[in-house]
Homo-oligomer: A and B are copies of this chain.
Amino acid sequence: MSKCLAVAGATGAVGTIVLQLLEQRDLGVDRFKLLASKRSAGKQIEFRGQQHTIELLEPAAFEDVDIVIASTPDDVAIDIVKWATEKNALVIDESGAHRMLEHVPLVVPEVNPEAAANHQGVIASPNCSTTQMVVAMKPLHDEATIRRVIVSTYQATSGAGVAGQDELVQSSRARLDNQSFENSAFAHNIAFNCIPQIGSAKHAGYTSEEMKMVWETQKIFDDPNIQVCPTCVRIPVENCHSESILVETEKPISVERARELFENAVGITVIDELDAQQYPMPDNCNERDEVFIGRIRRDLSSENGLTFWCVSDNLRKGAATNAVQIAELVLDQNLIGCKA
């Protein structure tokens, strides 16, 4: 049966990559709608070898649509879900608006694909910093049950969208030229600086970004006993989030076994040769769809601890790639249609 997929927010930083991925992959969909806000509606773009007109994001746009990949701010996502589910379309939402709602599955296909089956018209994709971490945790958790995670992030400015990327470039140039620069995408200058706050103050001294890493991780593994202590930090890197992760497991895992588990896991690439100065970095993980892991070693401070370094393209696996993978999953398992 003929299927129609709509990309909402098609002209944004993530939406642009969603379109690239839909050109590279065959989802078995034969009709596409590219939707965006007033600012972009009416524009022509080439997609899959044809000219497409960007259509306005409005209720009527979801007529005959089966599945929506939405890469928009939270408030727009709430409208999209209302409009799309009324037309019986399934929304894969990359925003933070629906992730923690009880009836909305929060899905990373490598980790909890089974959760997708229970959707009621909306499936959420996690926050970028969570997604790469849970992909890394999955093989260790299956083997030895993770009880505790301590994570410090090194997050790229693309996490704040095109405006964040632009601000890094412009403010870096200004700093090098001894020119003044007025920051707006970030609370402080980001050029040659780092900012230990992403999002707003949320809970017990933690930021909203940090609490996403706590709550989303527990939801994805359906295990409130995984304790997570995050510190989220913005650094002057354009794209790809890095994370220093320490996990404690119920059973011990050797470094050799952990490396084997990572190497055999779907969606993970191991780069781990310290002697040869080889490990993941933003520079070598950019525009890649996998989660990269290196610096795998025993925690020197606990019995069952293991620590490693994890880098992933936050616009790809952290957003676009994960959403497209969810679309592949629901199409493959014939889970589309709104059950609300």
Q: Using a CB–CB distance below 8 Å, which chain A residues touch chain B?
A: 148-150, 152, 154, 168-169, 172-173, 176, 187-189, 192-197, 201, 204-207, 214, 227-229, 231, 233, 235-238, 242, 244, 246, 255, 274-275, 277, 279-283, 294-302, 305, 307, 309
Contact = CB atoms under 8 A, between A and B. Distances in A.
**Secondary structure type dominating chain A contacts:** mixed
Nearest to A195: B281
Tell me the number of copies of this protein.
Answer: 2
A281 B237 contact: no
Given A188-B283, A231-B295, A282-B194, A205 B154 contact: no
Contacts of A173: 176
A187 B277 contact: yes
A138 B274 CA distance: 32
B149 A205 contact: no
Given A176-B176, A188-B283, A201-B274, 11 more contacts: A148-B301, A172-B172, A172-B192, A196-B281, A196-B309, A205-B255, A205-B274, A227-B302, A228-B300, A229-B299, A233-B242
A227 B298 contact: no
Most buried by B among A148, A150, A204, A299: A150
A172 B176 contact: yes
Nearest to A234: B281
Nearest to A235: B235
Task: Identify the 5 closest CB pairs spanning chains A and B, nearest first.
Answer: A205-B297, A227-B301, A152-B152, A152-B244, A229-B301
Contact of A300 (B187, B206, B281, B307): B206
A173 B176 CA distance: 7
16 contacts: A149-B301, A152-B244, A154-B154, A187-B277, A188-B281, A188-B283, A193-B281, A196-B242, A196-B280, A196-B281, A197-B279, A201-B274, A201-B275, A205-B297, A214-B300, A227-B300
A205 B298 contact: yes
A194 B281 contact: yes
Given A196-B295, A229-B246, A300 B204 contact: yes
A237 B194 contact: yes
